[in-house]
Amino acid sequence: MSFNIKRQEANEIERSRGWALVYGRRKVGKTYLLKNFTKWDNYYLVRKDGSLTLDSKGQIRQVMPIELTMTVGEQLNSGQTTIIDEFQRLPSTFLDDIAAYHPKGKLILTGSSFRITKDVFGSNSPVLGLFAEHRIGLVEPSDILSSLSEHMSAEKTVEFSAFARDPWIVPHLSFQDSSEELFRIAKLFPNAITGLVGEVFQEEERSYTQLYEAILRLFGAGYSKSEEIASILSSRGVIKERTTSAVIPMINNMESMDLVSELPIFRSKRKKAYLLRSPIFELFFRLADRYDIENRDVGFKEVEGMVRTVRNIAIQRFVGEIFAKAYRGNLEYSFDPEIDFIITKKGSPVIVGEVKWGKYDKKDLGRFIDRTSDLGCPRVLITKKDGIRSDEADIIGPKGLIDIASNEI
């Protein structure tokens, strides 16, 4: 199935009248977004070897690097919009030279390295103050839901959207059975997944060390707390001391690279939990940890339960993001008692939710009501199928969830 995933970031870039920096890790759709949903006159791609190709009104040709600054300058002087993709591969002198043409035309620089923000926005940058900043990550919930809902049922839309926010997997999906298809991607693209992770470190000019990989794999295996990570790595001899100070700097680096996200814990400023930002990464590393799919032939039936569990956790987090954006609040979690998501404003809960993407009954609803009885805010139960009714919680199905995502409350 082939279709376009429209992204609201394109509108923001279009509305930006001056120069812009668009950045994010590889394969989140930066090039696709800019080339298909923004207006431009010239599109340069800087290859890893430093060579350049120019797409100008459909005419594609090679460009000599030595000509770049002068050619781009002429385009800007004539009021054109020029995009330079992966500009961080250019010599460091490029930013010094191109600054002389500001504010003429519209220059958009894109890059897959998060260190480029220091190059552009650092105190010693020659272009400091010249570029608006646009960080591109996973597709926004409202965008992916809107795009998929035009082609499939509401139920399938929600199931696939939680993973299809990572755009590179979309061409590999037939959008029939989410569990089987997600397993197939995790099984058939192990080098793509580990390669994408490794390339983030390469772009950041940091070595992809045993420690970084060990932390990522533990997050993928389901461990979410820095204390757990430090304890396990210490027992394996990867780190010398069982202290969070040995792993927190690495976790912070991975957050800045958009590989890891922090999970704020409700009513706890000190305790933190983490998860892998990409659900397909999490699925792969979970299956690698539990079933060794990198080294042996694993069939779907053997791992079906785990795939569904990881899929449902991804849906749960996805739903939490939808409500956080709808209520313009903060997404928080609770492990004790276990609550799927709590949306807060200034520390106070405004809505609390439970996601049941499988069988559920009145006992499940009753336990949810009991766990949230002291929060003093509305409750929502998100379900895959219509079922029981309640006066104490709103029951919302896939169609209602899509409506909430498309209309901020």
pLDDT in tens, 381-399: 999 987 778 888 999 999 9
Fold annotation for 142-313: Arc Repressor Mutant, subunit A (1.10.10)
Nearest Cα to Cα of residue 320 among 307, 310, 333: 333
pLDDT at residue 210, as a whole number = 80
| CATH node for 319-406 | 3.40.1350
pTM: 0.89
386 CB burial (10 A radius; 0-12, 13-18, 19+): exposed
Which residue's structure tokens are 């926005």? 121
Q: Which percentage of the chain shows pLDDT scores above 90?
A: 67
Residue ranges of the chain assigned to CATH 3.40.1350 = 319-406
321-to-82, 163, 269, 281 alpha-carbon distances in Å:
34, 13, 20, 18
Mean pLDDT of 81-109: 93
What is the predicted pLDDT for the residue at 308? 95
Would you tell me which CATH number, out of the four given (2.170.220, 3.40.50, 2.60.40, 3.30.300), belongs to the domain 8-135?
Answer: 3.40.50
Express each pLDDT in 159-206 by its tens digit. 999 999 999 999 999 999 999 999 999 999 988 888 887 777 665 545
Percentage of the residues of the chain whose pLDDT score is greater than 70: 96
Give tens-digit pLDDT for 218-248.
Answer: 999 999 999 999 999 999 998 888 899 989 9
Give span(s): CATH 3.40.50, the chain.
Answer: 8-135
- Who wins on pLDDT, 359 or 80? 80
Q: With a cut of 50, say whether residue 350 has pLDDT above it.
A: yes
The CB-based long-range contact list for 194-202 (8 Å cut-off, 24+ gap) reads 196/25, 196/26, 196/27, 196/168, 197/259, 197/281, 199/26, 199/112, 200/25, 200/26, 200/112, 200/257, 200/258, 200/259, 201/257
Q: Give me the pLDDT at residue 208, please.
A: 63
- Of residues 284 and 389, which shows the higher confidence score? 284
Q: Highest-confidence range of 22-26, 76-80, 261-265, by mean pLDDT?
A: 76-80
Instruction: Say which amino acid occupies 252.
Output: N
Q: How many CA atoms lie within 13 A of 388 on its CB side?
A: 16
More confidently predicted of 197 and 33: 33
All CATH 1.10.10.10 domain ranges in the chain, comma separated:
142-313
pLDDT at 409 over 50: no
C-beta separation of 138 from 278 below 8 A = yes
How far is 203 from 222, CA to CA, in rounded Å? 27
